[in-house]
Amino acid sequence: MKAFIFPGQGSQIVGMGKIWNDNYSEAKKIFQEVDQILREPLSKIIFEGPEVELTKTENAQPAILTTSIAILEVIKSIKKINISKYCDFTAGHSLGEYTSLYAAGAIDLESVVKLVKYRGKLMSKSDKSGNGKMVAIIGLDINHIKKLIKSFKHEGVCELANDNSNGQVVISGDMDAVNLFKEYAKKEGAKLTIDLKVSAPFHCKLMQDAAREMEKELNKIHFFDSNIPIVFNVDALSFYKNRNFPALLSKQIINTVKWRETILFMEKEGVKKIFELGPGNVLTGLVKRITKNIECFSIQNPEDMDNLNE
């Protein structure tokens, strides 16, 4: 059994996807269509930068989505892959969940591009205080982290945003509370803490306004039942009925991204190979830390397509 997975925000890099755009008409078509849909030259920012523009949440999110979809469309054409027959599951990390919906035939290109652009704008502006923060905590078991958060005495929001892999979690919330938790975690044995360069504290209750507005927008979209099951971040369970998608996607903005559990779910279901499609190889690294029972391949350059052979 096989699965396709798609990266989230943070995987962006100036120049991503350009080799695909320059060599494959299928990719060029996607980049051109997205520029037309958004009525702005997103592809120019993707290929040329500057980095400060590409890193903005309202640009980074549609940029990563577009690059991942461009790669996907080339693979479908060149490798003659019918996703519903080739894959048994698909999933994405936060933003990547929207790419997985597109890959599974649950949403069309125009709708998903506009949604993700809107999502990026909402999320970047949702931290009205400007005092939000996200920090990666390295080296502590997830159950240990949960106990620490429960016992942590503080004012303000401090929540588990991402359960990425064994020993790697992300905390999100008010800056003062998150900074205090960093020190608490270090005293409890954390090997490393890393401040994340993000525009807002994603995946915590400070995103409630964004989640409410996003749900309104999601309810306007015509989703289709997906061709293959999608494993969603919120519950690490698979769904394919379109009626479930708006609630799952809006909840994702304020809830923990259960990536470790997502991979373990697919392992339990019998998945043996996973392919990460899109810029970077962050998810490939996480999968390898989560389980030794699944082979994982990053498809970010054309030569990587050789790994897609049966």
- pLDDT tens digits, 12-24: 999 999 999 999 9
Tell me the sheet residues that pair with 168.
Answer: 138, 165
pLDDT at 310: 57
**Which of 183-187's residues contact partners 24+ apart within 8 Å by CB, and which partners?**
184/148, 184/152, 185/137, 185/140, 185/145, 185/148
pLDDT at 48: 95
C-alpha span between 40 and 47 (Å, rounded): 14
Range(s) of the chain covered by CATH 3.40.366.10: 2-126+206-308
Range(s) of the chain covered by CATH 3.30.70.250: 132-198
pLDDT at 212: 92
In Å, what is the CA distance from 5 to each residue of 23, 45, 233, 253?
Answer: 23, 24, 12, 19
Q: Is 185 exposed, middle or buried (0-12, 13-18, 19+ CB in 10 A)?
A: buried
C-alpha span between 245 and 91 (Å, rounded): 13
pLDDT at 162: 95
Instruction: Return the CATH number of 132-198, one of 3.30.70.250, 3.20.20.370, 2.40.30.210, 1.10.10.10.
Output: 3.30.70.250
- HSE-up of residue 291 (Cα within 13 Å, Cβ side): 19
Q: Are 47 and 21 in contact (CB under 8 A)?
A: yes
pLDDT per position as a tens digit, 70-122:
999 999 999 999 999 999 999 999 999 999 999 999 999 999 999 999 999 98
pLDDT at 92: 97
Which residue ranges in the chain fall short of pLDDT 50?
none
Active site residues: 94, 203
Domain 2-126+206-308, what architecture? 3-Layer(aba) Sandwich (3.40)
Radius of gyration of the chain (CA): 19
pLDDT at 128: 67
